[in-house]
Structure 1
Amino acid sequence: MATKDLSAYDINSVPSAENMSFGIVVAEWNWEITSALAGGAIDTLKKHGAAEENITVKYVPGTFELPLGGQFFAEMANVDAVILLGCVIQGETRHFDYICEGVTQGTKDLNLKYNKPFIFGVLTTNDEQQALDRAGGKHGNKGDEAAVTAIKMVGLQRSF
């Protein structure tokens, strides 16, 4: 099965982010990977016109804590969208399943509760190499994809 390039998109399909503000929550666990995702997201937001002062980055210990970090943004900061960036790598136990399910449900709940885009930028891979390949490696950067999604969702919300 082919994996798409997470950094490839039609640049003309993305609205300007010039008047948009973003929160980014980054998991510290698997830092080599999550910091690369954050770098990709920040670069992509700026590429589309977001001002540096309109991008706020905060950190949580692990991927499971991303939804609460997102909720803090919703309740304590004036942002148009929140990007949640993390990485969960399959291990020998069911821990992977519980973390992935929790952060997925938590992100969905935030979207519906706050009527604001919360973007799921979480890698869920079988091994570290797959994660590296999707954090700026041969499959692009999931952070780029998450930033483009955030911009598009803010644009959609504003169109109503």
Structure 2
Amino acid sequence: MSSDQKSVLAGMVAAAVFSVAFFEVVFRMTDIGLNPHVAIGISIRLEYALKCEVFAALCMLAGVAKIANRRFFIPEAIEGAPAPSIEIDQRYLQNTMEQLVLALVAHLALVTIVAPESIRAVAVLVMLFVIGRITFWFGYHRSGPARAFGFGATFYPTVAVYAFLLFRMS
């Protein structure tokens, strides 16, 4: 394995461990005060999830704003020409859009099948998403391998939700 591959592997393992620990600690420390014996309608569940997702979408909004700002101040970029100085931000934005779509579908499906007191899992997952996107973006500006933690902290929780959903739907 190359040193870059070892760095990526270390970042991905750290992200997996961090994600599990963060989810467990924050989920157990929070309570949204719902009686587990009271039914909550699907519209309220989806409303809750969509309100949480606004924070995940802010990661994409930040990427669009950063690129727009950079394009304004780079003469060749204002014409739409490729600009190496915004290439990482464009890659961040593309990856964030991909990750957001996957997470959004997973989170919306999740709130429809969990117990009422567990819908707060979406808020915790969105926190992980935001942490993952921030560390991905900053890491990417350091080096390619340094984005591994942020990618993992964004991607692994989403994969875990899909695995949970498939298990529950089978």
**TM-score, normalization: structure 2?**
0.30
Larger strand percent: 1
- Bigger relative contact order (CA 8 A; separation at least 6): 2
Bigger Rg, which one: 2
Pick the structure with more helix per residue.
2
